[in-house]
């Protein structure tokens, strides 16, 4: 039997009509991607009928579990009572905005778009208009979406990199406007000293700092204790806008997001993913004074055919209502701690060079003993993006009935439909991998 024959055939068909066969590099896997045809709760099934426990959760968008029955009721009700999309004002928009304002400390006003990239784009553009300045400061390796405002990063590839002390920013995508480089400054995450130096030199030109308050695009990397408060102080002193990119953390770590946990309030917040349990909606929230600069009140253009899409708005509001009445956060954190303790025990038992990280429902596994404080620590990782250990680990997991995403860092999510037994299954498969591949797991 060929367990993935259906996926293989579908990929052959797709390559003829879809470039690379998939919707972008994030979906590609060797020798071919798996075609998932059903997801329910914590489980997914591929076209060949193989069942997986899903620890990818649609890049963290799925928080309650796939296809949550309570949200299906909301979807049915919305279709019965309203319809799909009118591109007109709708009463449910205020209900959703009120829920977000109730929970997210920085939110005085809120608007909706569809994806995280759109949210960061609009937040940055609004910051530039608000301050009349050009430069944005982001942190090395940070991902805030696909647009030219943010797709500069620091590569550690020796051929491209400059010196380790002064890594050279490079475009992450071909085809970006060259002038975009002038608009961007980069600094190491948690590198408070360099941050101060950059502000000393460029403070008067910095429109905004955009930062993930927990650096999930590097797995699970917590900010240094003084880092976020220092960004807040520097932004205040220099009248720069502070944007927290909570596209991953918003409503995933708790109703108030990471900002409620760390006690630092940004000026603008971008959110997406978890607050609609998989529907394509995102939000920009923040100080009324800044938010009111979006059109029609202000001059920062804001419009999109699907902005305020009724079905998305209804599901988002329904999702937050469930999170209010039946908050999964303690449960998710206990599952997360169980996962971390289990994998740590497997590392200790086998002595493999690995580190496990976890915050609430997000977890990461690195094949290095060092652990990570920032993206620069990932220099060796960036050079080993294609290291076979990651695909070998992923294949092992798939064969063990566990779905994780193919990536050079192993980052996963939990959702409220996961059970302790699901987590134990992941831990057990990981331990067995460590034992079977102990020889291959040399320090990366
Ligand atoms: N910001 C962060 C922190 C993200 O993790 C992502 C996506 N993973 C984005 C922005 C972009 O969101 P989207 O893929 O919905 O455009």
- Is residue 442 situated within a structural domain? no
Query: Domain end: 272, 297, 325, which one?
Result: 325
pLDDT, residue 151, reads: 85
Q: Ligand 1 mean position to 160 CA, how many Å?
A: 25
pLDDT, residue 382, reads: 47
Name 422's Cβ contacts closer than 8 Å, sequence gap at least 6. Answer: 42, 53
Query: Please, how many CA atoms are within 13 Å of residue 338, restricted to the half-sphere of its CB?
Result: 18
Residue-wise over 233-270: b if at least 16 C-beta within 10 A, else e?
A: ebbeebebbbbbbbbbbbbbbbbbbbbbebebbbbbbb
Name 284's Cβ contacts closer than 8 Å, sequence gap at least 6. Answer: 110, 111, 113, 119, 122, 123, 126, 268, 269, 270, 271, 291
Residue nearest to atom 8 of ligand 1 (CA): 59
Beta strands in 335-400 (DSSP E): 355-359, 362-366
Q: Ligand 1 mean position to 26 CA, how many Å?
A: 12
Choosing from 248, 259, 312, 359 the residue with most ligand 1 atoms within 8 A of its CB, the one to mutate for a pocket test is 248
- Is residue 441 situated within a structural domain? no
Q: Which one, of 160, 115, 267, lies nearest residue 206 by Cα?
A: 267
Give the atom of ligand 1 at the shortest distance from the alpha carbon of 59.
Answer: 8
Q: Is the pTM of this model over 0.90?
A: yes
Cα–Cα distance, 430 to 397 (Å, whole number) = 8
Q: Ligand 1 mean position to 289 CA, how many Å?
A: 25
The residue written with tokens 């987590």 in the block is 423
- pLDDT, tens digit, for every residue of 22-81? 998 888 888 899 999 999 999 999 999 999 999 999 999 999 999 999 999 999 999 999
pLDDT, residue 47, reads: 97
Contact 417, 330 (CB under 8 A): no
Q: Ligand 1 mean position to 145 CA, how many Å?
A: 5
CATH of the domain at 153: 3.40.640.10
- Tell me, yes or no, if 143 is annotated catalytic: yes
- Is residue 391 situated within a structural domain? yes
Choosing from 145, 245, 246, 278 the residue with most ligand 1 atoms within 8 A of its CB, the one to mutate for a pocket test is 145
- Is residue 444 situated within a structural domain? no
Write down the ipTM of this complex.
Answer: 0.99
Count of residues making up the chain: 444
* Catalytic residue chosen out of the listed positions 135, 138, 273, 340: 273
Same domain? For 246 and 394 the reply is no
Domain that includes residue 303, residue range: 69-325
The residue written with tokens 């970006």 in the block is 176
Q: Which two tokens stand for residue 335?
A: 């599952």
DSSP lists the bridge partners of residue 270 as 245, 284
Same domain? For 9 and 101 the reply is no
For residue 353, how many other CB atoms are within 10 A of its CB? 14
Same domain? For 117 and 243 the reply is yes
* Catalytic residue chosen out of the listed positions 46, 68, 109, 143: 143
Name 182's Cβ contacts closer than 8 Å, sequence gap at least 6. Answer: 134, 135
Residue nearest to atom 1 of ligand 1 (CA): 144
Distance (Å) of CA 196 to CA 175, 186, 230, 240, 338: 32, 12, 8, 13, 38
- Is residue 302 situated within a structural domain? yes
Ranges of residues in the chain whose predicted pLDDT is under 50:
158, 382, 384
Quick one: 153 exposed, middle or buried, by C-beta within 10 A (0-12, 13-18, 19+)?
A: buried
* Catalytic residue chosen out of the listed positions 245, 267, 377, 422: 245
CATH of the domain at 361: 3.90.1150.10
In order, the DSSP letters of 85-136 are: --SS--THHHHHHHHHHHH-TT-SEEEEESSHHHHHHHHHHHHHHHHT--EE
Q: Ligand 1 mean position to 153 CA, how many Å?
A: 15
Q: Ligand 1 mean position to 245 CA, how many Å?
A: 9
Give the atom of ligand 1 at the shortest distance from the alpha carbon of 142.
Answer: 3
Domain count, the chain: 2
Same domain? For 202 and 124 the reply is yes
- Is residue 366 situated within a structural domain? yes
Same domain? For 304 and 334 the reply is no
Q: Ligand 1 mean position to 81 CA, how many Å?
A: 32
Same domain? For 202 and 319 the reply is yes
- Tell me, yes or no, if 148 is annotated catalytic: no
- Is residue 443 situated within a structural domain? no
Query: Domain end: 325, 355, 377, which one?
Result: 325
Query: Domain end: 325, 353, 380, which one?
Result: 325
Residue nearest to atom 2 of ligand 1 (CA): 144
- Tell me, yes or no, if 245 is annotated catalytic: yes
Distance (Å) of CA 207 to CA 121, 216, 287: 13, 24, 15
Residue ranges around ligand 1 (CB below 6 Å) = 59, 115-117, 120, 143-145, 212, 217, 245, 247-248, 272
Beta strands in 194-342 (DSSP E): 206-211, 241-246, 268-271, 282-286
């Amino acid at each position: 039997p060929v367990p993935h024959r259906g996926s293989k055939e579908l990929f052959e068909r797709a390559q003829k009509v879809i470039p690379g066969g998939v919707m972008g590099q994030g979906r590609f896997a060797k020798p071919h991607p798996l075609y998932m045809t059903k997801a329910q709760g914590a489980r997914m099934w591929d076209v060949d009928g193989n069942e997986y426990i899903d620890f990818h959760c649609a890049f963290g968008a799925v928080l309650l579990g796939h296809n949550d029955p309570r949200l299906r009721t909301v979807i049915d009700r919305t279709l019965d009572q309203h319809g799909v999309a009118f591109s007109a004002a709708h009463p449910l928009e205020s209900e959703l905005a009120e829920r977000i304002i109730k929970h997210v400390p920085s939110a005085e006003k809120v608007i909706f778009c569809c994806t995280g990239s759109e949210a960061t784009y609009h937040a940055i553009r609004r910051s530039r208009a608000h301050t009349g300045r050009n430069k944005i400061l982001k942190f090395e390796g940070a991902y805030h979406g696909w647009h030219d405002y943010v797709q500069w990063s620091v590569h550690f590839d020796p051929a491209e990199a400059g010196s380790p002390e002064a890594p050279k920013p490079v475009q992450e995508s071909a085809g970006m406007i060259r002038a975009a480089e002038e608009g961007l400054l980069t600094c190491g995450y948690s590198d408070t000293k360099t941050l101060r130096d950059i502000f000393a030199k460029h403070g008067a030109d910095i429109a905004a700092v955009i930062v993930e308050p927990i650096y999930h695009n590097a797995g699970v990397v917590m900010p240094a204790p003084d880092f976020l408060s220092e960004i807040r102080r520097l932004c205040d002193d220099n009248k720069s806008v502070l944007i927290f990119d909570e596209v991953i953390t918003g409503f995933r770590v708790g109703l108030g997001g990471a900002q409620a946990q760390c006690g630092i309030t940004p000026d603008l917040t971008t959110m997406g993913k978890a607050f609609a349990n998989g529907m394509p909606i995102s939000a920009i929230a923040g100080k009324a004074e800044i938010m009111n600069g979006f059109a029609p009140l202000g001059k920062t253009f804001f419009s999109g055919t699907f902005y305020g899409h009724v079905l998305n708005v209804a599901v988002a509001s329904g999702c937050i209502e469930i999170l209010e009445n039946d908050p999964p956060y303690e449960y998710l954190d206990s599952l997360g701690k169980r996962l971390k303790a289990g994998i740590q025990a497997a590392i200790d038992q086998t002595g493999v060079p690995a580190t496990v990280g976890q915050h609430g429902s997000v977890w990461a596994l690195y094949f290095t003993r060092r652990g990570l404080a920032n993206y620069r620590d990932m220099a060796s990782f960036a050079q080993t993006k294609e290291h076979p250990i990651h695909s070998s680990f992923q294949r092992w997991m798939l064969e063990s009935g566990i779905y994780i995403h193919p990536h050079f860092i192993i980052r996963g999510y939990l959702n409220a439909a996961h059970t302790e037994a699901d987590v134990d299954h992941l831990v057990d498969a990981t331990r067995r991998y460590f034992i079977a591949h102990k020889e291959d797991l040399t320090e990366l």
